Structure 1
Amino acid sequence: MLALLENDPRDYAWGSATLIARLQGREPTGRPEAEVWFGDHPGSPARLAGAGTLDAWLDAHAGGARLGYLLKLLAAASPLSIQVHPSKAQAEAGFAAETAAGIPLDAAGRNYRDDNHKPEVIVAVSSRFEALAGLREVAATRRLLAGLGESAGVTAVRERLRGPDAEALRDTLGWLLSGEAGSEVDDVIASLATAESDEFAAELAVARRIAAAYPGDPGVVVALLMNLVVLQRGEAIFAPAGSLHAYLDGLGVELMAASDNVLRGGLTPKHIDVPELLRVVDTTPAAPPRILPEPVSDGVEAFRPGIPDFELWRVRADEAAPRTLALHGPAIVLAVGGAVRVNGRSGETVELTPGTAAFATQDESELVVSGAGEVFVALPGR
């Protein structure tokens, strides 16, 4: 089967009022539109044309088999919460423990809403996409802090960042998020107003923007410990289990394992479980976790993070050269540019314009993408 797939945008406060509407060629609603989910996740299952929701269809026609991934359009106008996701083993243990403790699945203080991990890839669709991803080398962060002056708060953060990098970063995260550093956090945020650094001018500008959106939040100081990543269209980052990250601004295609497990580390009014966050987060500093695509065939490349849950193909269609895609599992095709036609082995055809999607069952086995445009294809990993 090959059928059109649709869903309504989710109106999280950080969402853009214009980016998704502009992509889809329609008037904005006036409300923030943060994400459109294309998948069978029960939090917001997509709808198959004339056949109800995708999860219900899979129950009826695929024996209840579930997709291992969730594909999204994500449009940020202000920073998302700083967050980290557990490994598969951590998710299984955490979900079992909270379930045994009788914590309702929808409880505000619950960390694990399912037993799956949630690694994710995001590819920029806008010309610029900003994110924080991973923790910076401590020596570089100390150079950044030097640009904030010699206030008591800045000095306190600098003193925390002594000793082995991973241990110093874990200690500093715990101190900031536990509430112990209240006045020091305020002091560091105040110092941003006059901070100067040729090396970290972009990072300081972003920190000032974050502080304006989340005044007094300790996550502003956490953000100063993280790598700033600026993606151009078509560039991507991969956030594996344990990687601290936050998306800041722009439109992207996001593919993740089908899970809703999030441990937050600032920039949010929601529950922050500091001990659990510190147990899950990887505080080893590293370069930004960019992921490069691998060529598949003419006009087709794949982002393959090396996990069984998913891989993401980018297909640039050409009027003169249709792209043939050999599927190795159920697929979701999402258009982000131009107008394309997707033909399945079954003979079914769908027409896609930017911001629209289609679902292909595994028995289609092969899709042909023609026209002039760009699509992303979500598939299981290999």
Structure 2
Amino acid sequence: MLVPLANAPRDYAWGSRSLIAALEGRDPAAGPEAEVWFGDHPSDPADVEDGSGRTLDAWIADNGVRVSPSGRLPYLLKLLAAGAPLSIQVHPTKRQAEEGFAREASLDADAPRNYVDDNHKPEIIVALSDRFEALSGLRELEATRRLLDAIGAAAAPLRERLGDPEGLRDALGWLLSGDADDTVAAIIAALEEAQSTEFAAELANARYIASIHPQDPGVVVALLMNYVVLRRGEGLFLGAGMLHAYVAGLGVELMAASDNVLRGGLTPKRIDVDELLAIVDPEPGPVPVVLPVAGDRGSRAVESFAVPVSDFRLLRVAVAGEEPAVLHPTGAAIVLATAGEVTVSDGGDTVSLRPGRAVFATPDTAELRFAGDGEVFVAEPGVA
């Protein structure tokens, strides 16, 4: 069975007035549009377009649909539009989330907390804009030392702390604790004159972030991170413990159904430095870019993005001409259109999708057929 879905964009301050609007063929919005959620997450379940006024979680419950052993979808699919940098953040492992949620269970309802559920939040984002900028993980130490040398004497106190990977954890704590405010201010001031052929893009990105978040220690934390530019159709996987922040662009994001976020700068929201340091992975390394693999499920039109988690799987289906694409989903699936116009059929129901619209396929759906001229992304459960 196919169930058409829609949702209103969330108006986080870092959102874009134009990116989601342009995808959907609308004029720019009056205010920021940051994310559109397609799922049954209780914070913002998708709307079911059947005239009943129900949300997807209510529809699933009313119809007795078993989407997973827990009764909820194991994933959350989003459109994400970054008009300004998001907070630098990190997500816990499943065990850390369970322990943290249990630890905070006795807190008063209005008390600040780090864990709003007991789940982990691995995620992948695939660029829809021609250029999607992000910060992902911590840069190799020797390269970061060269970058800090380009900034000059102002960065010397930070450079001295980077003796080994654990030095990165210590440096993060120092920068975010308030003890390094003078060094943070000096580095941000020095960015204006800093020059480097090797790190020109990183320095330009730091200056851009500083223009939006002046004097925020997250500007300097960003200098320790890998700066990456995705081209359309390229993905970025973010596992537990990986420090990251999206900077600019439009993408399709798929994650485990959780809202656990530990923040580390570029935000007015609460930052728990000790908890962030407890879960962050301080090991430097390369950017985990995920390229699509064509020919999934035997169809040339289906591409998959391999991720090392069982909560979800993301597929891209491109159709053109008279030949339909066929997909056999692994369970309850959500199909989101991102280009052109695509007709989705399960052999009984047929739904026509334009960019920004989605449809839920119940877990008993044996086959999905896609026709038309356009592109959709399909979220489905992963394989354990």
Q: Is TM more than 0.5 here?
A: yes
Deviation at 1:135, TM superposition (A): 0.3
Distance 2:272 2:108 in 1: 14
| 3-state SS in 2 of match to 1:147 | helix
Matched, 1:56 2:62: no
Q: Which residue of 1 aligns with 2:172?
A: 173
Q: Which residue of 1 aligns with 2:254?
A: 255
Distance 1:318 1:65 in 2: 36
Q: Deviations over 1:239-292 (max 9, x none)?
A: 000000000000000000000000001101111111110110001000001112
Q: Which residue of 1 aligns with 2:140?
A: 137
Q: Deviations over 1:110-147 (max 9, x none)?
A: 10000000000000000000000000011100101111
Matched, 1:160 2:161: yes
Q: Which residue of 2 aligns with 1:72?
A: 78
Q: Percent identity?
A: 61
Code of the aligned partner of 2:12: Y
Distance 1:365 1:330 in 2: 10
1:181–1:87 CA distance, 2 compared to 1 (3 A): same
Q: Is the 8 A contact 2:331 2:365 kept in 1?
A: no
Deviation at 1:150, TM superposition (A): 1.6
Code of the aligned partner of 2:156: T
Q: Deviations over 1:291-342 (max 9, x none)?
A: 1222302111111212110010000012221000001100000011001100
Distance 2:159 2:239 in 1: 28
Distance 1:175 1:29 in 2: 40
Q: Deviations over 1:200-247 (max 9, x none)?
A: 000000000000111110000000000001000000110000000000
Matched, 1:47 2:16: no
Code of the aligned partner of 2:132: F
**Superposition pairs of residues 274-285 of structure 1, within 5 angstroms:** 274-285=273-284
**Superposition pairs of residues 215-294 of structure 1, within 5 angstroms:** 215-294=214-293
**Superposition pairs of residues 314-333 of structure 1, within 5 angstroms:** 314-333=316-335
Deviation at 1:29, TM superposition (A): 2.3
Q: Is the 8 A contact 1:103 1:110 kept in 2?
A: no
Distance 2:227 2:9 in 1: 27
Distance 2:313 2:2 in 1: 20
The number of residues matched between the two structures is 374
| 3-state SS in 2 of match to 1:42 | coil
Q: Is the 8 A contact 1:264 1:277 kept in 2?
A: yes
Distance 2:255 2:158 in 1: 34
Q: Which residue of 2 aligns with 1:90?
A: 96
The alignment yields a C-alpha RMSD, in angstroms, of: 1.0
Q: Is the 8 A contact 1:72 1:255 kept in 2?
A: yes
| 3-state SS in 1 of match to 2:41 | coil
Matched, 1:147 2:150: yes
Q: Is the 8 A contact 1:317 1:371 kept in 2?
A: yes
Q: Is the 8 A contact 1:306 1:381 kept in 2?
A: no
Q: Which residue of 1 aligns with 2:367?
A: 366
Distance 2:266 2:41 in 1: 25
| 3-state SS in 2 of match to 1:369 | strand
| 3-state SS in 2 of match to 1:194 | coil
| 3-state SS in 2 of match to 1:134 | strand
**Superposition pairs of residues 194-205 of structure 1, within 5 angstroms:** 194-205=193-204
Deviation at 1:353, TM superposition (A): 0.6
Deviation at 1:103, TM superposition (A): 3.8
Code of the aligned partner of 2:232: R
Deviation at 1:49, TM superposition (A): 1.1
Q: Which residue of 2 aligns with 1:118?
A: 121
Distance 1:263 1:300 in 2: 35
Distance 1:127 1:121 in 2: 17
Matched, 1:30 2:30: yes
